[in-house]
Amino acid sequence: MTRTVKQLFDLTGQTALVTGGSRGLGLQMAHALGEAGARLMLSSRKASDLEEAVAELKAAGIEADYIAADCGQEEDIRRLARETVQKLGRVDILLNNAGASWGAAAEVHPVSAWDKVMNLNVRGYFILAQELANLSMIPNRHGRILNVASIAGLAGNPPEMQTIAYNTSKGAVVNFTKALAGEWGQYGITVNAICPGFFPSKMTYGLLEKLGAENMASHAPLLRLGDDEDLKGLTLLYASAAGKHITGQWLAVDGGVSAIIGG
What domains lie within the chain, and their CATH numbers? 5-257 (3.40.50.720)
205 included as an active-site residue: no
Q: Taking the model in full, what pTM does it have?
A: 0.96
Position 205 scores a pLDDT of 64
Can you list the residues of the chain whose pLDDT is less than 70?
A: 203, 205, 207, 211, 262-263
Position 40 scores a pLDDT of 99
Position 212 scores a pLDDT of 78
Position 147 scores a pLDDT of 98
Between the CA of residue 170 and those of 55, 103, 148, 193, 204, what are the distances in Å?
31, 15, 8, 10, 15
Task: Tell me if residue 84 falls in helix, strand or coil.
Answer: helix
Position 262 scores a pLDDT of 63
Question: Which of 66, 125, 166, 238 does the annotation list as catalytic?
Answer: 166
Nearest to 72 by CA among 80, 60, 62: 80
Question: Residue 107 carries which DSSP code?
Answer: G
Burial class (CB in 10 A: 0-12, 13-18, 19+), 89: exposed
Spatial contact of 24 and 230, defined as CB atoms under 8 Å apart: no
What's phi and psi for 44, nearest 5 deg?
-165, -175
Strands 93-96 and 15-19: parallel
Taking all residues of the chain, what is their mean pLDDT, rounded to a whole number?
Answer: 95
Burial class (CB in 10 A: 0-12, 13-18, 19+), 216: buried
Q: What is the pLDDT of residues 26-36, one digit of tens each?
A: 999 999 999 99
Nearest to 198 by CA among 19, 25, 16: 25
